[in-house]
Amino acid sequence: MSTITRARGALTPLEWVNNLSLFPFLAPSIRIEEFLDGETYVVRAELPGIDPAKDVTVTYAEGELRLHVERSTEHKDRTHSEFHYGSFYRTVPLPAGAREDTITAEYADGILTIKLLVGEVETTGKPIPITVGAAKKK
């Protein structure tokens, strides 16, 4: 039985870019796409290999969707891994008129799809009265 191990030396420039895990503050977050489908706002998050029942939390607060994903490492002997493990967060600001009571989430084929209705935004404002005071003299 033989074991083939790739020699690991200095990283090439391409590996520096592709291996941002060397710099945790630059590590990839949850990749998303968002679009409007009629009156439905859709956010899709790419989450392959995740168990959504135990690893994903989606919350709504202050006009934002907040996604938290936890991917734990499987302790196996590996020579090399480029998988990302740990906690991942993403905050998605929602458009004006987003209706919190219509938010749904579904996970299929490694994609989390979140949908919600976006209603009309009221453009009527409340007038603010302006008081005129006497100028103070020095």
pLDDT tens column, 49-63? 889 999 999 999 999
Q: 3: pLDDT confidence band, cut at 50, 70 and 90?
A: very low
For the chain, domain boundaries: 20-74+83-117
CB crowding 44-77: b at 16 or more within 10 Å, else e? ebebeebeeeeebebeeeeeebebebebeeeeee
Tokens of 39: 């009156």
- pLDDT of residue 21 exceeding 80, the answer is no
Percent of the chain with pLDDT over 90: 43
Q: What is the average pLDDT across 2-24?
A: 51
- If one compares 35 and 119, the residue with the highest pLDDT of the two is 35
CB 89 within 8 A of CB 112: no
Phi, psi of 134 (to 5 degrees): -75, 140
Kindly indicate whether the domain formed by 20-74+83-117 is annotated with CATH number 2.60.40.790.
yes
pLDDT confidence of residue 25: 56
Sheet holding 64-71, edge to edge: 56-61, 64-71, 86-93
**Among 29, 61, 62, CA closest to 45:** 29
- pLDDT of residue 82 exceeding 60, the answer is yes
- If one compares 61 and 78, the residue with the highest pLDDT of the two is 61
Provide DSSP, 91-120: EEEPPTTB-GGG-EEEEETTEEEEEEEB-P
- pTM value is 0.67
Return d(Cα 107, Cα 53) in angstroms, integer.
Answer: 9
pLDDT confidence of residue 5: 41
Q: What is the mean pLDDT of the chain?
A: 81
Return d(Cα 135, Cα 9) in angstroms, integer.
Answer: 74
pLDDT confidence of residue 60: 95
